[in-house]
Amino acid sequence: MPGDSLNVHVNNKATVQNTYDAIVVGSGISGGWAAKEFCEKGLKTLVLERGRNVEHIKDYSGTEKNMWELAHHNRLTEEDKKNSPIQSKCYAFNEVSKKFFVNDVDNPYNQVKRFDWIRGYHVGGRSLMWGRQSYRWSDLDFEANAKDGYGVDWPIRYKDLAPWYSYVEKFAGINGSKDGLPHLPDGEFLPAMEMNCLEKHVAARIKESYNDRVMIIGRSANHTRQVGDRGPCQYRNRCHEGCPFGGYFSSNSATLPAAKKTGNLTLRPYSIVLDVIYDKDKKRATGVRILDSETMKTEEYYAKVVFLNASTLGTAQILLQSVSDAFPNGLGNTSGQVGHNLMDHHYGVGAHGEFDGFADQYFYGRRPNGIYIPRFRNINEKTKRTDYVRGFGYQGGANRGRPNSGDGIGVELKEQLTEPGPWSMGIAAWGEHLPDFRNKATLNKDKKDKWGLPTLDIDCEYRENEKAMRKDMMASAAEMLEKAGMKNINTFDSDPAPGFCIHEMGTARMGRDPKTSVLNGFNQMHDVKNVFITDGACMGSSACQNPSLTYMALTARAVDHAVTELKKGNI
């Protein structure tokens, strides 16, 4: 039985063959970057992935099919909903992509308060199904904690990360326009995608009507030009099924192949990391213990440096499971912050309207990207709000859709439904979620999963600041659409639970003070110098931008630091 898997003994025979220079736990967006950087710097690197392998293109079966070739024309079945009641609610979950989402029954967790945890346990993780929106942070974000007192001060500023943003953008392939906004810095962009005619109109009207905000084209990790052997994007808009054209950035398409090319990569799927092994005399981690989910055997792997990239909650779980005499409350948890300060973005609120006009305009192709209205609240004295701190940005787009139902039956109905309807546009806000110690994940040792491992109790909610912000998120959306001349404007608030934005962050935060944070300014554990965490767990605040690009930059920077420190003999 796997019930005792946390208490098995060390297997010494395999020590030599199980020793690497670096171990990376997780192969998602940040783990893939860690693997690439270590391998390219010449370190023998072991990447441990808890799920199965997914090879680029080869394992994207189904995405080449037309909708009528799928049994349910891409709709969900009752069985899907039964096996994955949480995952199946995700916008990216469909008849083809569902293989990239976990079975909720097999992967339980406990919702102390409602929390929709969307997961992909396979090589590439959620980098396969991610939303691809890629925005830099600025000092508005890095200084926020210090200025308003929520959370702890970030130990870095924009200047520390700017060159690393450039570094990762050039490899990842991010499209966008240079907009010259100080609080949403421009990057190293591939050609921007184009706004359609209504989006151009709305952008112009927003510019005329307001002096504090703009609407820009979204910046996404779709390749508008070929990037190495990837792409270009074919405008199918089926990214989350895996792209047979390599039209967007994922671990599978980009970082893992680059790592593999060096000859330094060992990728081990079916490897559930149980804990990090700590040597209290050396004050270093010596490696990790895994459970092989196929053989049900535990094994140990050793390395000079360990990167945890198991995702915000996965990484917290590993730390909390890594108990020893030195760290009875979890590895590197003398601050007591591990598992706490869990954040997501609160979203799903905005407005939608129709537009009379552009009846003689249409489009060709399916753009896998939308528009972005960068944050315009609390960015300076003039835009300061009294009802909440921080801010939000809008994503959305205009479309000329086809009515999906109509009155009557017969020829008249058929005709109604074969021509495009009026243009419409919707925008929805992504808002910052304040770090709060009370929002947390803890181990539940009474409820074990099928591997015999403790499950997580997740206790997280949106509080007063987020609730106050949401009112403005809805009202400002309607106001902007109105000023842009839209008709029949409807506001909406789908009131998603935390987790559902799939931007979990904060459970092992960076900070200046080891008493109040888990990681230093290089994502290095204050307590254990050869353990680094560069997934969402490291985030000290959430800002309102989609976070993956920042994880990439932090990861490349942290690997560079780790290797420098290794060479100096400091770790």
Partner 1 sequence: MNRRDALSRVALLLGGTIIGGEVFLSGCTSADKKLGQSLDFTPDDVAFLDEVAETIIPRTDTPGAKDAKVGEFMTVMVKDCYDEKNQKIFLEGMTKLNEASRKKFNGNGFMKITPEQRKELLTELDKEQKDYAKNKKKEDEPHYFTQMKQLTLLGFFTSEPGATKALRYVAVPGRFDACVPYKKGDKAWAV
Residue 403 CB, shortest distance to partner 1, in Å, is 9
Q: Does 230 bind partner 1 (CB under 8 A)?
A: no
Stretch that binds partner 1, among 127-135, 286-294, 407-415, 472-480 (CB under 8 A): 407-415
Residue pair 100/59 in contact (Cβ under 8 Å)? The answer is no
Stretch that binds partner 1, among 97-105, 254-262, 295-303, 418-426 (CB under 8 A): 418-426
Q: Does 265 bind partner 1 (CB under 8 A)?
A: no
Q: Does 402 bind partner 1 (CB under 8 A)?
A: yes
- Interaction with partner 1 in 196-215: which residues (CB under 8 A)? 196-197, 200
Q: Does 418 bind partner 1 (CB under 8 A)?
A: yes
Q: Does 189 bind partner 1 (CB under 8 A)?
A: no
Q: Which amino acid is at 271?
A: S
Binding-site member from 10, 42, 55, 73 for partner 1 (CB under 8 A):
73
Binding-site member from 16, 17, 71, 569 for partner 1 (CB under 8 A):
71
Residue 85 CB, shortest distance to partner 1, in Å, is 13
Stretch that binds partner 1, among 412-420, 489-497, 505-513, 542-550 (CB under 8 A): 412-420
Binding-site member from 4, 381, 407, 446 for partner 1 (CB under 8 A):
407
- Which ranges of 173-230 does DSSP label H, i.e. alpha helix? 197-209
Give the binding-site size for partner 1 (rule: CB under 8 A). 46
From CA 222, how far away is CA 237, in angstroms rounded?
Answer: 10
From CA 328, how far away is CA 330, in angstroms rounded?
Answer: 6
Stretch that binds partner 1, among 1-9, 76-84, 255-263, 498-506 (CB under 8 A): 76-84
| Those residues with Cβ within 8 angstroms of residue 66's Cβ, 6 or more apart along the chain or in another chain | none
- Taking CA atoms, 433 is separated from 42, 114, 404, 439, 468, in Å, by 39, 16, 36, 11, 12
Helix axes 464-483, 197-209, angle to 10 degrees: 110
Q: Does 63 bind partner 1 (CB under 8 A)?
A: no
Stretch that binds partner 1, among 124-132, 161-169, 290-298, 415-423 (CB under 8 A): 415-423
Return the number of the residue (263 or 408) whose C-beta is nearest partner 1: 408
Binding-site member from 110, 111, 226, 234 for partner 1 (CB under 8 A):
234
* 3-class DSSP string for 426-494: EEEEEECCCCCCCCEEEEEEEEECCCCCEEEEEECCCCHHHHHHHHHHHHHHHHHHHHCCCEEEEEEEC
Binding-site member from 194, 354, 493, 560 for partner 1 (CB under 8 A):
194
Return the number of the residue (2 or 426) whose C-beta is nearest partner 1: 426
Q: Does 61 bind partner 1 (CB under 8 A)?
A: no
Structure tokens at 329: 């409350």
Q: Does 417 bind partner 1 (CB under 8 A)?
A: yes
* Secondary structure class of 350 (helix, strand, coil): strand
Residue pair 269/295 in contact (Cβ under 8 Å)? The answer is no
Best CA proximity match to 487, nearest among 319, 351, 302, 322: 351
- Taking CA atoms, 230 is separated from 225, 233, 255, 562, in Å, by 9, 9, 12, 29
Binding-site member from 7, 12, 66, 211 for partner 1 (CB under 8 A):
66
From CA 439, how far away is CA 463, in angstroms rounded?
Answer: 10
- Taking CA atoms, 357 is separated from 285, 351, 468, 478, in Å, by 64, 19, 35, 19
Binding-site member from 58, 72, 225, 567 for partner 1 (CB under 8 A):
72
Residue 419 CB, shortest distance to partner 1, in Å, is 6
Residue 550 CB, shortest distance to partner 1, in Å, is 27
Residue pair 309/408 in contact (Cβ under 8 Å)? The answer is no
Q: Does 78 bind partner 1 (CB under 8 A)?
A: yes
Binding-site member from 7, 17, 386, 405 for partner 1 (CB under 8 A):
405
- Interaction with partner 1 in 349-378: which residues (CB under 8 A)? 359-367
Return the number of the residue (57 or 566) whose C-beta is nearest partner 1: 57
Return the number of the residue (416 or 516) whose C-beta is nearest partner 1: 416
- Taking CA atoms, 329 is separated from 18, 313, 332, in Å, by 27, 16, 8
Residue 412 CB, shortest distance to partner 1, in Å, is 10
Structure tokens at 276: 């990090």
Q: Does 419 bind partner 1 (CB under 8 A)?
A: yes
- Taking CA atoms, 37 is separated from 128, 308, 552, in Å, by 20, 14, 11
Residue pair 181/372 in contact (Cβ under 8 Å)? The answer is no
From CA 236, how far away is CA 241, in angstroms rounded?
Answer: 11
Residue 490 CB, shortest distance to partner 1, in Å, is 17
* Secondary structure class of 305 (helix, strand, coil): strand
Residue 100 CB, shortest distance to partner 1, in Å, is 20
Stretch that binds partner 1, among 66-74, 129-137, 258-266, 334-342 (CB under 8 A): 66-74
Residue 496 CB, shortest distance to partner 1, in Å, is 19
Residue 170 CB, shortest distance to partner 1, in Å, is 23
Q: Given the rule CB under 8 A, which residues bind partner 1?
A: 66-68, 71-79, 193-197, 200, 234-236, 359-367, 400, 402, 404-405, 407-411, 413-414, 417-421
